[in-house]
Amino acid sequence: MELKQAIQERRSIKQYEDTTVEDSLVTEAVELATYTPNHGMREPWRVIWVKKERLEAFGTLFADIAFKNDEEKHRQHVETAKKLAGVLVVVGQRDRRQKENLEDVLAIGGFMQTLCLALYENGIGSCIKTQPPYLNPKMNESLNVQGDEMIYGVVYLTAQTEAAFKARKNEGLISEF
């Protein structure tokens, strides 16, 4: 697959079919994404892989935080989470220096997007999520996220299904000085 094709055709897949993926394909995608350019070669990310057999516990942890007062939404979330092929939790340090923090946030965003392209190339559907429960101390403690780190987002792994093309709004993106 050509890079241009992958960039144009990859979509966030939100139809969470009950599926599995080969560990080697996920590992390969993560390793490829580590080549994402980043400032000062700090590589400010690490990945926690929640495999299929741990998805119910992960979904329950999330639902306990997000839907503690709504039993039906809690149940639905756990059932949805169990269908995924896995979850990649992207964690990175929080740098108190403003410039370095911005550079790290941009690098982690680039890493996550590159990861999704690499997963797509390997036939794995993905969707990046950045919901408030990932900032909850209980979530961080359960996933062994350290005090100087934070969860920047997660990548849901699922079947590579078709997703509709949405026209881009990038007309007039470039202006001249």
Summarised one tens digit per residue, pLDDT across range 98-110 is 999 999 999 999 9
CB 127 within 8 A of CB 13: yes
Between 40 and 51, where is the model more confident? 51
pLDDT tens digit sequence for 71-94: 999 999 999 999 999 999 999 988
Predicted local confidence at residue 87, as pLDDT: 97
Burial (0-12, 13-18, 19+ Cβ within 10 Å), 58: buried
Tokens, residue 48: 């926690």
Q: Return the bridge partners of 151, or none.
A: 91
Find how far residue 72's CA is from the centre of its chain: 25
* CA-wise closest residue to 113 among 92, 84, 95, 90: 90
- Which domains does the chain carry? 13-159 (3.40.109.10)
What is the average pLDDT value for the chain, to the nearest integer? 90
* CA-wise closest residue to 90 among 31, 142, 48: 48
Would you call 155 helix, strand, or coil by DSSP? strand
- Decide if pLDDT at 2 tops 90: no
Q: What is the mean pLDDT of residues 20-44?
A: 91
Q: Is the dihedral of CA 65, 46, 154, 77 positive or negative?
A: negative
Under the banding of pLDDT at 50, 70 and 90, the label for residue 174 is: confident
The CA-based diameter of the chain, rounded to the nearest angstrom, is 55
- Identify which of 92-96, 109-113, 162-166 has the greatest average pLDDT: 109-113
DSSP string across 70-90 = -HHHHHHHHHHHHHSSEEEEE
CB 79 within 8 A of CB 18: no
- Decide if pLDDT at 162 tops 80: no
Q: What is the CB neighbour count within 10 angstroms for residue 132?
A: 9
